[in-house]
Amino acid sequence: GEDVEQSLFLSVREGDSSVINCTYTDSSSTYLYWYKQEPGAGLQLLTYIFSNMDMKQDQRLTVLLNKKDKHLSLRIADTQTGDSAIYFCAEIKQAGTALIFGKGTTLSVSS
């Protein structure tokens, strides 16, 4: 497909793990990104992964990359209410310059 695709909603309980999935478009994309947007705010870079990596871990965050399937996932361990936000997957296509975003996944964490 031509779009970066994400599921739109995810609801978890506090303390559980959250997994947000993304399918991107360009197998030549060199960097893939996860951004977080809190209500009323701009986007903040959470983490990124280089295309020659399969996995990247950063504290509670784990990014998994499956290049064959063009699938990216973000796992948040021990999800907290403060993790409630919209999470965007993004890529820079090989021939492009700008970030191309998915529609975003709204994560809702209940206590």
Partner 1 sequence: DAGITQSPRHKVTETGTPVTLRCHQTENHRYMYWYRQDPGHGLRLIHYSYGVKDTDKGEVSDGYSVSRSKTEDFLLTLESATSSQTSVYFCAITYDRNTEAFFGQGTRLTVV
Residues lying near partner 1 in the complex (CB under 8 A) are found at 30-31, 33, 41-45, 48, 88, 92, 97-104
Question: Which CB atom, from 68 or from 98, has the smaller least distance to partner 1?
Answer: 98
Three-state SS annotation for the chain: CCCCEECCEEEEECCCCEEEEEECCCCCCCEEEEEEECCCCCEEEEEEEECCCCEEEECCEEEEEECCCCEEEEEECCCCHHHCEEEEEEECCCCCCCCEECCCEEEEEEC
The least distance separating partner 1 from the CB of residue 111, rounded to whole angstroms, comes to 26
Of 14 and 87, CB closest to partner 1 = 87
Closest CB 14 distance from partner 1, rounded Å: 26
> What's the closest the beta carbon of residue 106 comes to partner 1, in angstroms?
10
10 vs 43, beta carbon nearer partner 1: 43
CA dihedral angle for residue 85, residue 35, residue 100, residue 91, rounded to 10 degrees: -140
Q: Minimum distance between the CB of residue 42 and partner 1, rounded to whole angstroms?
A: 4
Shorter beta-carbon distance to partner 1: residue 61 or 92: 92
